[in-house]
Homo-oligomer: A and B are copies of this chain.
């Protein structure tokens, strides 16, 4: 498939959804040229949303982080995280008790904003275990892997409680050459040890796309075919967009590279409508 310039197709759409990592930012920070492109989209009065598989921070903190990195116009309401989907589930389905979590204190805001108490898994004891009503995998940081993964296994052997994976991504790039195991990778280890399947949130599930779609200005009365999803990962961004019925653009600035994209598209059968080197081309 031939590469298309992202800028040349913007005007065909009435709303644009962007993945964050590998599209807007990478391991070094904001991708060079992105703020200008975002302004170009805003100048065309095209609503944009960022759909990110992450529960590391709330949209307010995520927006502040983007702003510090030069994306001054971004608003919290434009950011949809898989953590928000997990939060809605907790709000709807966990009526009482304390929620144990793996992740940072910052990520635990998703639990606390569900009006539930939150404690890190390291603080679960024989005394307070009876009160634990759910377990959430939020982030791969903020805890000691040497102890807390085993503590999670043992909590879940003793208590059969709803267990939520707020970000199902298995790895993420940390340098040009290196990756780190992500929340979803740790959750999968625990699932495999226990022989259980947890409740997963994030793309490619239709939920985040639906949420973003419903939050678009009602007066625009948009059809799905008027929306473009832009992402760097075939099995989350592109598959999810394809299933939701919106157009999809694969960028080669993250997980999928110039040398691998043709093989990956062939081997997965997940076919984007367009391919660009990045959103700044």
- List the interface of chain A (C-beta within 8 A of B): 85, 88-89, 92-93, 144-146, 149-150, 153-154, 157-158, 160-163, 170-171, 177-181, 185, 188-189, 192-193, 196-199, 201, 205-207, 210, 224-225, 235, 239, 242-245, 265-271
Minimum C-beta distance from A194 to chain B (A): 9
Is there an interface contact between A181 and B150, defined as CB atoms closer than 8 Å? yes
Can you give 11 contacting A-B residue pairs, CB < 8 Å? A89-B242, A89-B243, A92-B225, A93-B242, A145-B145, A146-B146, A150-B181, A160-B269, A163-B269, A188-B192, A210-B210
Q: Give this chain's copy count.
A: 4
Set of chain B residues within 8 Å of A178, measured between Cβ atoms: 150, 154
Is there an interface contact between B149 and A270, defined as CB atoms closer than 8 Å? no
Beta-carbon nearest neighbor of A151 in chain B: B178
Q: With A171-B193, A199-B269, A245-B88 in contact, do A153 and B181 touch (Cβ < 8 Å)? A: yes
CA distance in complex: A136, B85 (Å): 30
Set of chain B residues within 8 Å of A144, measured between Cβ atoms: 145-146
Is there an interface contact between B271 and A162, defined as CB atoms closer than 8 Å? yes
CA distance in complex: A144, B144 (Å): 9
Q: With A163-B269, A205-B205 in contact, do A149 and B181 touch (Cβ < 8 Å)? A: yes
Is there an interface contact between B162 and A150, defined as CB atoms closer than 8 Å? no
Is there an interface contact between A161 and B269, defined as CB atoms closer than 8 Å? yes
Minimum C-beta distance from A219 to chain B (A): 16
